[in-house]
Amino acid sequence: MRVGVLTGGGDCPGLNAVIRAVVRKGAKDFGDEFVGFRDGWRGPLENDVRELGVPQVRGILPRGGTILGSSRTNPFSVDGGVERIIDNLASRDLDALIAIGGEDTLGVATRLSDLGVSVVGVPKTIDNDLSGTDFTFGFDTAVNIAMEAIDRLHTTAESHHRVLVVEVMGRHAGWIALHCGLASGANIILIPEWPFDIERVCNQVESRFATHYSPIIVVSEGAIPTTMTTELARDTVDAFGHARLGGIGDWLAREIEQRTGKEARAVVLGHIQRGGTPTAFDRWLATRFGLHAITAVHDGDFGTMVALRGTEIVRIPLAEGTGELKTVRHELYAEAEVFFG
């Protein structure tokens, strides 16, 4: 078979491991040929490809980012975009397309599949907010990077008797904040799912200082105080209508300083969480996703997405994975509250 592969959305540790597994298994077990589309949906839209075969995937397992490049191109917001993609796939004699991405990239894959394109999806996002899969690859790496950063921030917070606010990624879901906050002994964790009361946060800051320890607060970029109606964001909006978030960490540090008189500093981890080499777990998950995705192609199981359930890789309809985001349930968040303050 001739199979196209693309990676879309924010880069994510493990993307190269998926590409490698798809190509290695496809070439060895099925004699497949591959076409690598550059930069997410921009590739098939503009027929921009690169060579993709076993030599091209040698040595990429531990490498972060994606050898195919990525973008947030949305073909449904481009005039005639969908028709161009369908024509370009046909012009390259492709039998199938493997799309590796998050809610937006796989949302496009879902709609193209409804239009008859033979596509299989692989879920990726450091945010871990895709439904139908227990975990997405990239998440474990992001959590470990954030945990290591917070371990370091503890000592500087203690030495200077400061509040340290750590802003982590997580647009709609607080999975990164919750997991790295628990793993690193944060004193307050604030996530998008549950608006927070700044008075309560300040009380927790003061009670932490009362025990002669300095508070560490982990906040998701999408967390919202009860006094605001939307997330803090910059002006720019991407092709899928998402604003570029940022600013809640600084806002919190300022409010805390003003209200408690304690020095507070904000650290924004940003893209450090997405960069560099994947953890063993993410390499394992990404590799298995790749192996199962190319098998799904050969089974003709299009319109599906591979997913992790326990330790098994299963296939679910693409629409199930992209229909609704997986957010943090209240009971799960409440478990962490025993450590707050």
- For residue 245, the minimal CB distance to ligand F6P (Å) is 5
Nearer to ligand F6P, 130 or 291 (CB): 130
The whole-angstrom separation of Cα 161 and Cα 154 is: 10
- For residue 9, the minimal CB distance to ligand F6P (Å) is 6
The whole-angstrom separation of Cα 315 and Cα 20 is: 20
Nearer to ligand F6P, 105 or 110 (CB): 105
37: exposed, middle or buried (C-beta count within 10 Å: 0-12, 13-18, 19+)?
buried
- For residue 280, the minimal CB distance to ligand F6P (Å) is 21
The whole-angstrom separation of Cα 33 and Cα 30 is: 9
- For residue 104, the minimal CB distance to ligand F6P (Å) is 8
Which residues form the interface with ligand F6P (CB under 6 A)? 10, 102, 125-127, 169-171, 221, 244-245, 274
Residue 160 backbone dihedrals phi, psi, to 5 degrees = -105, 5
Residues shown for the chain: 341
Residues whose CB falls within 8 Å of the CB of residue 66, separated by 6 or more in sequence, listed in order: 7, 11, 12, 15, 16, 19
The pair of three-digit structure tokens given for residue 308, joined into one six-digit string: 């992790």
87 is known as an active-site residue: no
- For residue 137, the minimal CB distance to ligand F6P (Å) is 13
Q: Tell me the H-state helices in the chain.
A: 15-25, 42-46, 54-57, 81-91, 103-114, 139-160, 175-184, 198-210, 248-260, 280-298, 318-323, 330-336
Nearer to ligand F6P, 91 or 236 (CB): 236
The catalytic position among 127, 129, 140, 282 is 127
- For residue 58, the minimal CB distance to ligand F6P (Å) is 28
**How many CB atoms are located within 10 Å of the residue 77 CB?**
10
- For residue 65, the minimal CB distance to ligand F6P (Å) is 12
Nearer to ligand F6P, 12 or 23 (CB): 12
The whole-angstrom separation of Cα 221 and Cα 84 is: 36
Nearer to ligand F6P, 68 or 96 (CB): 68
The pair of three-digit structure tokens given for residue 6, joined into one six-digit string: 């693309």
Nearer to ligand F6P, 32 or 231 (CB): 231
Identify the three-state secondary structure at position 205: helix
Nearer to ligand F6P, 88 or 128 (CB): 128
Residues whose CB falls within 8 Å of the CB of residue 70, separated by 6 or more in sequence, listed in order: 7, 8, 9, 10, 11, 15, 39, 40
Residues whose CB falls within 8 Å of the CB of residue 54, separated by 6 or more in sequence, listed in order: 23, 24, 27
Are the beta carbons of 202 and 254 closer than 8 angstroms? Answer: no
Hey, which residues are catalytic here? 127
